[in-house]
């Protein structure tokens, strides 16, 4: 599932490529991905608008158009936003935005678990307010993370993945950050000391920046806005490496699905 580094990569690519373009036509092929709008509403609201900005909030890519209209695309497991210069046959295409320069922005989704929604500015602000802070925002300090962790006895990994507490972090980067900080994923969040919280903050921001620099993590489905794969998989220290030796101490990495049913990988020897 695309997390913060993947959606940030898509948003940056698209902003550089399409900001300033106008949407000439909207074609909805599979309307079951739409949320809060119909195919006709989507087309009527977007047609003729200028794309002012493409940006990210949490795991969502946002196209802000015409001042008060915002298209929100959440790719989830198999969704992708692909910018193409010539028509492509795609059996999984859901929505096409034809631009005034001849290019098409296509939302495609094999399993159609992702969503496409429309917001006005007030609706967007209300949705954004329901989410936690962005981990790469300068205002998200080690002290703020420590306060959030001390407020709950849930597993620290579950807290990192809770979008109402922290926006954009999913399973891959929660595993990686906890390995980097040397903290056991099942630890009660409230049990972390301020020093441990600071180490976790550092590990989390470090791995997110590194993954963005590598243009995200591709295993199977994730592609950037031009259809290319991210390369961060080669730098993973924990996620997907269950049974392999820990690159810090050499002990075999353990795997469990006990936290929210997601694959958790950690080192029993050096994560405390």
Q: Which sequence positions are flagged as catalytic?
A: 2-3, 59, 262
Q: Which of 71, 54, 49 is nearest to 120 (CA)?
A: 71
Q: Which two tokens stand for residue 103?
A: 């290019």
89 closest CA partner among 102, 108, 116, 113: 108
Give the separation between CA 116 and CA 216, rounded to whole angstroms.
Answer: 21
Cβ distance 7 to 75 under 8 Å? yes
Question: Residue 244: how many CB atoms within 10 A of its CB?
Answer: 12
Residue 108: exposed, middle, or buried by beta-carbon count in 10 A (0-12, 13-18, 19+)?
A: buried
Half-sphere exposure of 169 (CA within 13 A, CB side): 29
Nearest CA among 228, 234, 184, 178 for reference residue 206: 178
């Amino acid at each position: 599932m695309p997390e913060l580094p993947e959606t940030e990569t898509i948003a940056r690519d698209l902003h550089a490529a399409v900001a300033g373009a106008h949407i000439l036509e909207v074609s909805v092929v599979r309307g079951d991905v739409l949320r809060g709008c119909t195919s006709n509403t989507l087309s009527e609201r977007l047609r003729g608008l200028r794309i002012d900005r493409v940006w990210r909030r949490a795991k969502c890519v946002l196209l802000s158009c015409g001042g008060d209209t915002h298209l929100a695309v959440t790719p989830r497991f198999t969704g992708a936003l692909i910018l193409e210069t010539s028509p492509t046959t795609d059996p999984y295409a859901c929505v096409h935005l034809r631009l005034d320069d001849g290019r098409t922005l296509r939302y495609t989704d094999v399993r159609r678990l992702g969503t496409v929604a429309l917001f006005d500015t007030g609706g967007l602000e209300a949705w954004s307010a329901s989410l936690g802070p962005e981990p790469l925002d300068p205002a998200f300090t080690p002290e703020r993370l420590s306060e959030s962790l001390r407020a709950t006895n849930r597993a620290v990994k579950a807290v990192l993945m809770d979008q109402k507490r922290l926006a954009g972090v999913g399973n891959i980067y929660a595993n990686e950050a906890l390995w980097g900080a040397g903290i056991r994923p099942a630890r009660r969040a409230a049990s972390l000391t301020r020093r441990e919280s600071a180490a976790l903050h550092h590990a989390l921001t470090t791995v997110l920046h590194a993954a963005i620099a590598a243009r995200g993590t591709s295993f199977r489905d994730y592609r950037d806005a031009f259809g290319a794969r991210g390369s961060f998989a080669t730098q993973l220290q924990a996620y997907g490496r269950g049974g392999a030796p820990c690159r810090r101490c050499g002990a075999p990495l353990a795997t469990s699905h006990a936290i929210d049913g997601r694959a958790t990988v950690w080192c029993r020897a050096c994560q405390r």
